[in-house]
Amino acid sequence: MAKIPDGNAVLVVGLGRFGAAIASTLDDLGHAVMAIEKDHDVAQRWSHRFHVIEADATNASALEQAGAREFSIAVVGMGTKLESSVLVTANLVDLGTPQIWAKAISRSHGRILKRIGAHHVVYPEFDAGARVAHMLTGRMLDYIEMEDGFSIIKMRPPRDIQGFTIAQSTVRERFGVRIIGVKSPGLPFEYATDTTLIGPEDLIIVSGDSDLLEEFANR
Query: The domain spanning residue 202 has which CATH number?
Result: 3.30.70.1450
Number of folded domains in the chain? Answer: 2
Q: What pLDDT is stored for residue 175 in this prediction?
A: 95
In eight-state DSSP terms, residue 47 is T
CB 207 within 8 A of CB 150: yes
CB 9 within 8 Å of CB 2: no
Q: Both 113 and 172 in a single domain?
A: no
Looking up residue 66, the CATH number of its domain turns out to be: 3.40.50.720
Q: What is the pLDDT of residue 138?
A: 60
Contact 130, 102 (CB under 8 A): no
Specify whether 103 is located in the same domain as 140: no
pLDDT for 1: 42
What domain range includes position 188?
127-218
pLDDT in the model for residue 7: 60
Residues of the chain short of pLDDT 70, as ranges, are 1-7, 131, 134-135, 137-139, 147
Q: Would you say 13 and 88 are in contact if contact means Cβ atoms under 8 Å apart?
A: yes
From 102, 122, 142, the end of a domain falls on: 122
- Asked if residue 172 belongs to a domain, the reply is yes
Same-domain status, 166 and 81: no
Looking at the fold, whether 74 and 135 belong to one and the same domain comes out as no
Task: Flag whether the pTM goes above 0.85.
Answer: no
46 and 147 share a domain?
no
Distance between alpha carbon 115 and the CA centroid of its chain, in Å? 21
- Cβ atoms of 152 and 205 within 8 Å: the answer is yes
**pLDDT reported for residue 5:** 45
Quick one: pLDDT at residue 2? 44
Say what the pLDDT of residue 137 is: 62
Q: Tell me the C-alpha to C-alpha distance, in Å, between residue 63 and each of 60, 67, 74, 204.
A: 5, 7, 12, 46
| Domain identity same for 151 and 211 | yes
